[in-house]
């Protein structure tokens, strides 16, 4: 290939153009840097020196000097919210929304940030209005999730159901708490004075439809709750066979929840003069699916129906198979309730034992284990909850006490 002499002119020209472009970029960068307020660099310096309070003050000064710094406003607002300074966060985002020249995307962003400020501040009415504005924007999905949380906290179940339906129109994902919303409606109807049985039945019918629609997902807890509420309705209508059918369906389909319905099922058998048969059913279930709550019901029933000797025989065998301090504490509690003197009991399997002292020592160590625990946040409670009071998550409690989970 022949060398062309004109390349000797072209190459220096390209080099010169590159040098001039670099010089122009450097000058532009230096010019922009000089235009930044000193407060901006002071704020960066404070951040690097781990002085967040002084850094915030510096950045606030920058925002005042240059109102066009929208990203800095967003950063400050989020920082104020995380620090719990809700009034300052709200003012920052309101000042952004007051700007007429703010682009639509940034206006929606500011509206979403302001709604979150209201929510964290506990101003639920304002938060609800702010999130509702975002339903037809790019922030529709997080806005609907937030509205669902608000309606839950207000126990506004009809609007929560409506929000869930809107959410399912945007994303194809399971919403297991939908069944519980209908159950909450049914429970409220049953708690009314007088009880609104028709409304409760209608709500449970919707709950069953939601369970069928979520057949691919785990719905054990919600199905148990529906069965328990149906049993309550049957009991209020004095339909004992139907009540028993609902309770026995829990034993068959969701045996781990037996402890929640054991006493109610035993009472059902007692009302039909079949207490012994009910005890036999529960005892057989305990052999296959032992739990502390079920142990407690069976032991108490044995103590009443067949006397302390057979009850303690059952307890001894159960504790040998499944050692449990909490189980021992429970049966000592029953024994002392039957023999309140609490001293050396002549019919005790431990001759001359002071059961009051024994139970006091054991109870001291079992108090912390006699609780249900949320699998998400760890919140502990003595009673079983369908929704955790700590983190408000649904179906996060296992129907077993802490000792059984350890």
- Give the pLDDT confidence of 186-212 residue by residue, as tens digits: 999 999 989 999 999 999 999 999 988
280 near 255, Cβ under 8 Å?
no
Distance CA 366, CA 323 (A): 13
User: Are 345 and 387 found together in one domain?
Assistant: no
- Residue 298: inside a domain: yes
- Residue 116: inside a domain: no
110 near 97, Cβ under 8 Å?
yes
Secondary structure element (H or E) that encloses residue 310, with its range: helix 308-321
The model carries a pTM of 0.77
User: Are 361 and 299 found together in one domain?
Assistant: yes
* pLDDT of 44 higher than 80: no
305 near 275, Cβ under 8 Å?
yes
Q: Give the confidence band of 175 by pLDDT, cuts at 50, 70, 90.
A: confident
- Residue 78: inside a domain: no
Name the token pair of 246: 């609902």
**Three-class SS string for 179-216?**
HHHHHHHHHHHHHCCCCCHHHHHHHHHHHHHHHHHCCC
* Burial of 363: CB neighbours in 10 Å, binned 0-12, 13-18, 19+: middle
> What pLDDT is attached to residue 358?
62
What 3-state class would DSSP assign to 239? coil
Which one has a higher pLDDT value, 402 or 181? 181
> What pLDDT is attached to residue 1?
46
Overall average pLDDT of the 86-103 stretch? 83
List, in order, residues 6 or more apart from 364 with CB less than 8 Å away. Answer: none
User: Are 361 and 323 found together in one domain?
Assistant: yes
User: Are 360 and 383 found together in one domain?
Assistant: no
What 3-state class would DSSP assign to 121? coil
Distance CA 146, CA 75 (A): 21
User: Are 378 and 356 found together in one domain?
Assistant: no
Up-side HSE of residue 222: CA atoms within 13 Å toward CB?
A: 26
Q: Is there a cis peptide before residue 194, judged by omega within 30 degrees of 0?
A: yes
User: Are 322 and 362 found together in one domain?
Assistant: yes
Percentage of the chain surpassing pLDDT 70?
A: 71
400 near 368, Cβ under 8 Å?
no
- Residue 122: inside a domain: no
Structural domain count of the chain: 2
- Residue 346: inside a domain: yes
330 near 367, Cβ under 8 Å?
no
Query: Nearest 5°: phi and psi at 374?
Result: -70, 130
- Residue 273: inside a domain: no
* pLDDT of 69 higher than 70: no
146 near 131, Cβ under 8 Å?
yes
pLDDT digits 0-9 by tens, 302-345 = 888 988 788 878 888 888 888 776 677 766 766 666 665 544 44
* pLDDT of 185 higher than 70: yes
Q: Count CB neighbours of 403 within 10 A.
A: 18
Q: Give the confidence band of 85 by pLDDT, cuts at 50, 70, 90.
A: confident
Query: Nearest 5°: phi and psi at 132?
Result: -60, -30
Q: Give the confidence band of 42 by pLDDT, cuts at 50, 70, 90.
A: low
Q: Any idea which of 26-40, 154-168, 300-314, 374-388 has the lowest mean pLDDT?
A: 26-40
- Residue 215: inside a domain: no
User: Are 310 and 361 found together in one domain?
Assistant: yes
Overall average pLDDT of the 149-175 stretch? 89
**Three-class SS string for 123-164?**
CHHHHHHHHHCCCCCCCHHHHHHHHHHHHHHCCCHHHHHHHH
User: Are 364 and 381 found together in one domain?
Assistant: no
> What pLDDT is attached to residue 343?
43
Distance CA 375, CA 221 (A): 14
102 near 70, Cβ under 8 Å?
yes
Q: Count CB neighbours of 259 within 10 A.
A: 20
- Residue 321: inside a domain: yes
> What pLDDT is attached to residue 364?
62
User: Are 365 and 295 found together in one domain?
Assistant: yes
List, in order, residues 6 or more apart from 90 with CB less than 8 Å away. Answer: 114, 117, 118, 121
User: Are 366 and 377 found together in one domain?
Assistant: no
Name the token pair of 69: 């710094």
* pLDDT of 286 higher than 60: yes
Give the range of the structural domain holding residue 357, as residue numbers without chain letter. 288-370
Which one has a higher pLDDT value, 199 or 369? 199
User: Are 361 and 305 found together in one domain?
Assistant: yes
Query: Nearest 5°: phi and psi at 388?
Result: -65, 125
> What pLDDT is attached to residue 273?
94
Secondary structure element (H or E) that encloses residue 372, with its range: strand 372-373
Terminal-to-terminal C-alpha distance of the chain: 82
Q: What is the mean pLDDT of the chain?
A: 80
Query: Nearest 5°: phi and psi at 381?
Result: -150, 150
Overall average pLDDT of the 49-61 stretch? 58
Instruction: Produce one character per residue of 82-95: b if its CB has 16 or more CB atoms within 10 Å, e if not.
Output: eeebbebbbebbee
Note the Cα 158 to chain centre separation in Å. 20
């Amino acid at each position: 290939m022949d060398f062309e002499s004109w390349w000797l002119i072209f190459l220096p020209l390209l080099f010169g153009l590159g040098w001039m472009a670099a010089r122009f970029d450097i000058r532009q960068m230096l010019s922009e840097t000089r235009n930044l307020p000193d407060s901006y660099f002071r704020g960066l310096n404070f951040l690097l020196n781990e002085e967040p309070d002084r850094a915030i003050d510096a950045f606030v000064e920058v925002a005042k000097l240059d109102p066009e710094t929208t990203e800095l406003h967003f950063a400050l607002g989020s920082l104020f919210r995380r620090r719990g300074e809700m009034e300052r966060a709200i003012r920052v985002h309101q000042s952004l929304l007051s700007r007429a020249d703010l682009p639509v995307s940034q206006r929606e962003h500011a509206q979403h940030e302001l709604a979150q400020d209201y929510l964290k501040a506990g101003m639920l009415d304002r938060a609800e209005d702010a999130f509702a504005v975002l339903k037809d924007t790019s922030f529709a999905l997080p806005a609907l999730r937030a509205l669902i949380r608000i309606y839950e906290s207000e126990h506004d179940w009809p609007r929560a159901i409506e929000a869930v339906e809107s959410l399912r129109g945007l994303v194809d994902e399971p919403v297991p708490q939908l069944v519980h919303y209908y159950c909450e409606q049914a429970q409220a109807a049953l708690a009314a004075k007088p009880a609104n049985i028709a409304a409760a039945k209608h709500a449970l019918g919707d709950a069953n439809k939601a369970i069928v629609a979520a057949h691919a997902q785990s719905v054990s807890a919600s199905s148990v709750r529906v069965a328990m509420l149906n049993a309550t309705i049957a009991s209020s209508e004095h339909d004992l066979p139907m009540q028993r059918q609902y309770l026995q369906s829990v034993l068959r389909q969701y045996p781990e929840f037996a402890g929640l319905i054991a006493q109610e099922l035993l009472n059902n058998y007692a009302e039909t003069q079949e207490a012994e048969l009910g005890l036999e059913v529960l005892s057989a279930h305990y052999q296959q699916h032992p739990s502390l709550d079920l142990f407690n019901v069976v032991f108490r029933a044995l103590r009443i129906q067949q006397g302390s000797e057979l009850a303690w025989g059952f307890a001894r065998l159960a504790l040998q198979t499944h050692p449990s301090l909490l189980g021992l504490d429970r049966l000592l509690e029953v024994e002392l309730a039957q023999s309140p003197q609490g001293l050396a009991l002549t019919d005790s399997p431990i001759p001359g034992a002071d059961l009051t002292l024994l139970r006091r020592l054991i109870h001291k160590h079992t108090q912390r284990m006699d609780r249900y625990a949320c699998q998400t946040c760890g919140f502990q409670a003595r009673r079983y909850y369908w929704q955790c009071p700590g983190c408000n998550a649904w179906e996060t409690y296992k129907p077993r006490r802490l000792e059984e989970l350890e």
